[in-house]
Structure 1
Amino acid sequence: MRTSTKPFSPKLYPSNWMGNQYTSTYNVGKVLGGFSFGAGIAIDIGGVYNYYDPHIGPNSPNSTSPGKAALNTGTGALGLYGGLYGTAVSAAYSGMELVYPGGIGGYINAASKDQRHLDSTINKGSRVPFRILPWGSQKF
């Protein structure tokens, strides 16, 4: 609705992702994305500093390995500059890192453990084994 010093007008101006002639939502997303990308880099720099600090060490939960920091930075840049697909990949990676205990590595380790359990029970003697994480050429 338009409210200003001019006479009140209840006309509703529809909006979309790019806004309209009165509003713009596109720049807000870019600014917030750039801010969160910069904050992530700053947090990773602190984590890498802790990684090399002899009083804290790499086993601290506040430490980040340089490889992990590079992966986080690359994924963040993909989300910021990679268009729709880059944003989707970055959101999936970030969501997994935030929600799953141990992040992507914890998910893969848990899935491997679960797969070993399936192989020793349900998949034993099965002609078509069940796979949690399908990879490579699946021959059935």
Structure 2
Amino acid sequence: MTTQELVEQFIELGRTKGMARATIELYEARFGAMPPPLRLVVEAMRDLPTLRAWHLLAGTGTREDVHEALRRRSLRALRPDPHREVIPRTGAPPAPGWPARRPRGPRRPRVMGRSASTTRRAGCYRT
């Protein structure tokens, strides 16, 4: 990833966070404190056009309209996407076609910032 791509990614992240904050502030100016579950939905959203639509709705719609739009989006986010490939977590049996993870063995002790095998080769033993 180039530096320019990183800069553009951070700028986009800043825009989405700013729009989310502005949406929450507008909601609270019109209707009072935003319920925590809805606040979490707004803060977690990373799609700028959706945040802009919510911002306009918070400025022009009723409280019920805003709640319905945010709840509808949060329920859609909780529903699994059948087209998205899911990678199994550790501890879960791997799906067919996935390679099984090899369990890690115990770690070797480190002596003064060196691995034990390097220390032994150098003839430095800790007493």
The structure whose Rg is larger is: 2
Fold conserved between structures, TM > 0.5: no
Which TM-score applies when normalising by structure 2? 0.32
Q: Which one has more relative contact order, counting CA pairs under 8 Å at least 6 apart?
A: 2
TM-score, length-scaled by structure 1: 0.30
